[in-house]
Structure 1
Amino acid sequence: MTGRIATAAVDIAATPQRVWTALTDPDEIEKYMFGSRVETDWKPGSPIVWKGEYEGRRYEDKGEVIEVQPDRRLVVTHFSPLSGQPDEPDNYHTLTYELQGSGSSTHVELRQDNNGSAEEAEHSAANWQMMLGGLKQHLEAE
């Protein structure tokens, strides 16, 4: 991981397998990730696209699947044209999801690297914390 790191974490009353499904199923992702529709086959090296609307603006973010360890770890890159930065490798973030299970609960930690400033890292961390809160609410409402 490079640059300033944004982190978010949550404990969810669900097994790692159930959390993993929610992290990788496009129909479920749409329910807790601000209406974002994800397109990918979840194979390392494959593209990943997030489409939706955020704060009244349509977006199509993109990246690449880097690492997939079912029920444990997911790593993808992420670029958003809404950032105003050019679509260049130096402007991509790496998102790392780590799952640690304990009985019927799971601790999920998300890290996003390559934030350009402390303020950008704080803003990203707040957004990811909100998303993880939505994931928790989605899974615990079942």
Structure 2
Amino acid sequence: MEREHVSSASVAIKASSTAVWGALVSAAAAKRYFFGAKVDSDWAEGSPITFTGEFRGNAYREKGTILRCSPEKMLQYSHWSDLEGLPDLPENYRNWTFRIAPEGTGVLLSVTEDNIPTEAKRARSDEFWPGVLSTIKEIVESESKA
């Protein structure tokens, strides 16, 4: 099976890289931008990351490993979801990479998801990520004004 489908999105945020990074690694913020999921990790490279919650009345547990963590610059982790219906095998994990780069008076936050198994699932990711980034932007910009 070919697995080279990639999804990416980005958003400009009028805030510091410190503020954006804080949202990426905050369980409270993640619960808002990941649609109610409880995210748990210590964010150290090699550590586990878990996402638990409910979707359409069904409990789910997603998991991965922190692959790279460069505070205020980049966060990358693997991600596997039991909702996908694929076995929990290394080849079924996607990689989610968040990058923070200076832009104008703020930053550009971008995300790339790779190892997506099908074009249809890539299209679904293309719909998912702009909403996540938009919510991160709202969280960070509202907290920066407070």
When normalised by structure 2's length, the TM-score is: 0.90
Alpha-carbon shift at residue 53 of structure 1 (Å): 2.1
1:88 corresponds to: 89
Find out whether 1:19 has 2:20 as its counterpart: yes
* Greater displacement, 113-122 / 98-107: 98-107
Alpha-carbon shift at residue 128 of structure 1 (Å): 1.5
Equivalent residues in 2 for 1:49-128, closer than 5 Å: 49-102=50-103, 104-128=105-129
CA contact (8 A) 1:34 1:54 kept: no
Partner of 2:43, secondary structure, is coil
1 CA distance for matches of 2:11 and 2:54?
A: 24
Partner of 2:53, secondary structure, is strand
Number of aligned residues: 141
Residues 128 and 54 of structure 1, relative CA distance in 2, 3 Å threshold: farther
* Greater displacement, 92-101 / 23-32: 23-32
Specify every segment of 5 or more residues in structure 2 that has no aligned partner in the other structure, as ranges. none
Structure 1 residue runs of 4 or more that deviate by more than 4 Å after TM superposition: none
Partner of 1:139, secondary structure, is helix
CA contact (8 A) 1:8 1:110 kept: yes
Alpha-carbon shift at residue 28 of structure 1 (Å): 1.6
CA contact (8 A) 2:12 2:103 kept: no
CA contact (8 A) 1:8 1:126 kept: no
Partner of 1:19, secondary structure, is helix
Identity %: 32
Alpha-carbon shift at residue 103 of structure 1 (Å): 5.2
| 1:11 maps to amino acid | A
* Greater displacement, 99-108 / 3-12: 99-108
Alpha-carbon shift at residue 8 of structure 1 (Å): 1.4
2 CA distance for matches of 1:128 and 1:56?
A: 22
2 CA distance for matches of 1:34 and 1:54?
A: 9
* Greater displacement, 96-105 / 106-115: 96-105
| 2:108 maps to amino acid | H
Partner of 2:72, secondary structure, is coil
* Greater displacement, 12-21 / 2-11: 2-11
Alpha-carbon shift at residue 56 of structure 1 (Å): 3.6
2:33 corresponds to: 32
CA contact (8 A) 1:51 1:60 kept: yes
Specify every segment of 5 or more residues in structure 1 that has no aligned partner in the other structure, as ranges. none
Partner of 1:8, secondary structure, is strand
| 1:120 maps to amino acid | K
Alpha-carbon shift at residue 55 of structure 1 (Å): 3.8
- Aligned-pair RMSD on alpha carbons? 1.3
